[in-house]
Amino acid sequence: MGLFSWNCKQCGESIKAPYDIPEGIEWQNEAVLLCEDGTMVCGDYDGYGRLGSAELANGTKDPELWHKKCWEGAGQPMKYSGPSDYAEDQGFFYGDDCGAECFEVVEDDGEGVYDD
Site residues for Zn ion per CB under 5 A: 8, 10-11, 67, 70
By beta-carbon proximity to Zn ion, the closer residue of 10 and 60 is 10
- Work out how close the CB of 100 gets to Zn ion at its nearest, in angstroms, rounded to a whole number: 27
Looking at beta carbons, which residue is closest to Zn ion? Answer: 8
By beta-carbon proximity to Zn ion, the closer residue of 11 and 41 is 11
Given a contact cutoff of 8 angstroms between Cβ atoms, the answer to whether 31 and 42 are in contact is: yes
Given a contact cutoff of 8 angstroms between Cβ atoms, the answer to whether 89 and 34 are in contact is: no
Measured in whole angstroms, how far is the alpha carbon of residue 95 from the centre of its chain?
Answer: 14
- Residues contacting 18, CB < 8 A, separation 6+: 29, 44, 45, 46, 47
- Work out how close the CB of 101 gets to Zn ion at its nearest, in angstroms, rounded to a whole number: 25
- Work out how close the CB of 85 gets to Zn ion at its nearest, in angstroms, rounded to a whole number: 12
- Work out how close the CB of 107 gets to Zn ion at its nearest, in angstroms, rounded to a whole number: 27
By beta-carbon proximity to Zn ion, the closer residue of 25 and 105 is 25
Beta bridge partners of 14: 7
